[in-house]
């Protein structure tokens, strides 16, 4: 996973609530067995017409937002399906940071695991950032994870919270699995607790 330390980039405004993961990447594009290549179809229904031509009124089809690396939305971003294809599609499009007043739980988690920083900020602040994002070529924000601040185009800074464990993993570009495997002894001893004796095993020949 790529590290996330500091990002200065165009922010795209998407002033909508409940942007679900079916919108971010529709189901018909989930047939891939890879993580990459989904960016072309991110937001496909809003981005392209029936013939596959770009719809000019969709924000990510406009300059400079085609190069956006930050997305600003309203409440409950990423609700619905747990598909990690949603953050993969965003990442493949170039998005590294998503900002919203609230997120759906699974999507929030999935972002961290792919080097995308999700930031929760109150609606009023999202409104201000939304205004910044509407300024076209001047819609550049700096997101500094080390200092936990966003720098607005006018130089003002906005502090944000992030889970310390998640922050550490992003700053270092670490993956969870290696960390958990270091606790192998504890996991094994858990598996041998007598209170777990009732949990049946599923042997391979019995499943048909």
Partner 1 sequence: MPVTTSPRTLFDKIWDDHVVERLEDGTCILYIDRHLVHEVTSPQAFEGLRMSGRRVRRPDATVAVADHNVPTSDRSKPIEEPQSRLQIETLEKNVAEFGVPYFPLRSTSQGIVHVVGPEQGISLPGMTIVCGDSHTSTHGALGSLAFGIGTSEVEHVLATQTILQKPAKNMRVSVEGKVGPGVTAKDIMLAIIGRIGTAGGTGHVIEFAGSAIRDLDMAGRMTLCNMSIEAGARAGLVAPDETTFAYVKGRPFAPKGEAFEQACDYWRSLASDDGAYFDTEVTLAAEEIIPSVTWGTSPQDVLPIDGSVPSPSDEPDPARAAQIQRALDYMGLEAGQKIAGTPVDVVFIGSCTNSRLEDLRAAADVVRGRHVAEGVRAMIVPGSGLVKHAAEAEGLDKVFLDAGFEWREAGCSMCLGMNPDRLTPGQRCASTSNRNFEGRQGPDGRTHLCSPAMAAAAAVTGRLCDVRELVKETV
For partner 1, the closer CB: 4 or 74:
74
Surface-to-core class of residue 198, CB atoms within 10 Å of its CB (0-12 exposed, 13-18 middle, 19+ buried): exposed
Q: Is residue 107 within 8 Å of residue 77, measured between CB atoms? A: yes
Taking contact as CB under 8 A, which single stretch among the options 10-18, 53-61, 140-148, 149-157 is the one that binds partner 1?
10-18
The nearest distance, CB 12 to partner 1, in angstroms, is: 17
Which of 137, 154, 192, 198: binder of partner 1 (CB under 8 A)? Answer: 198
Q: Tell me how far apart the alpha carbons of residues 200 and 203 are, in angstroms, rounded to a whole number.
A: 9
Q: Tell me how far apart the alpha carbons of residues 136 and 119 are, in angstroms, rounded to a whole number.
A: 22
The nearest distance, CB 84 to partner 1, in angstroms, is: 4
Q: Is residue 112 within 8 Å of residue 86, measured between CB atoms? A: no
Cα 143–chain centre separation: 15
Which of 41, 73, 81, 139: binder of partner 1 (CB under 8 A)? Answer: 81
Which of 23, 41, 73, 139: binder of partner 1 (CB under 8 A)? Answer: 23
Residue 148 binds partner 1 (CB under 8 A): no
Residue 110 binds partner 1 (CB under 8 A): yes
Residue 84 binds partner 1 (CB under 8 A): yes
Which of 59, 68, 79, 98: binder of partner 1 (CB under 8 A)? Answer: 79
Residue 199 binds partner 1 (CB under 8 A): yes
Kindly list the residues in this chain that would bind partner 1 in the complex (CB under 8 A).
Answer: 15-18, 20, 22-23, 26-28, 30-35, 45, 50, 74-76, 79-84, 87, 102, 104-106, 109-110, 113-114, 163-165, 176-177, 180-181, 183, 186-187, 190-191, 195, 198-204, 206-208
């Amino acid at each position: 996973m790529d590290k996330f330390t500091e990002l200065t980039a165009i922010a795209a405004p998407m002033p909508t609530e409940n942007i679900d993961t079916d919108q971010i990447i529709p189901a018909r594009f989930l047939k891939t067995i890879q993580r990459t290549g989904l960016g072309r179809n991110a937001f496909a229904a809003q981005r392209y017409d029936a013939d596959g031509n770009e719809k000019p009124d969709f924000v990510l089809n406009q300059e400079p937002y085609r190069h956006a690396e930050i997305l600003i939305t309203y409440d409950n971003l990423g609700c619905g399906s747990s598909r990690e294809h949603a953050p993969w599609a965003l990442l493949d499009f170039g998005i590294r940071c998503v900002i919203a007043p609230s997120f759906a739980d699974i999507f929030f988690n999935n972002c961290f695991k792919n080097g995308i920083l999700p930031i929760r900020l109150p609606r009023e602040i999202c409104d201000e950032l939304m205004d910044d994002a509407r300024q076209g070529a001047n819609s550049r924000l700096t997101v500094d994870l080390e200092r936990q601040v966003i720098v607005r185009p006018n130089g003002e800074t906005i502090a944000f919270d992030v889970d310390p464990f998640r922050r550490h993993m992003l700053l270092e570009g670490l993956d969870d699995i290696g960390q958990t495997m270091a606790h192998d002894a504890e996991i094994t001893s858990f598996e041998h607790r007598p209170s777990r004796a009732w949990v049946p095993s599923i042997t391979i020949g019995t499943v048909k």
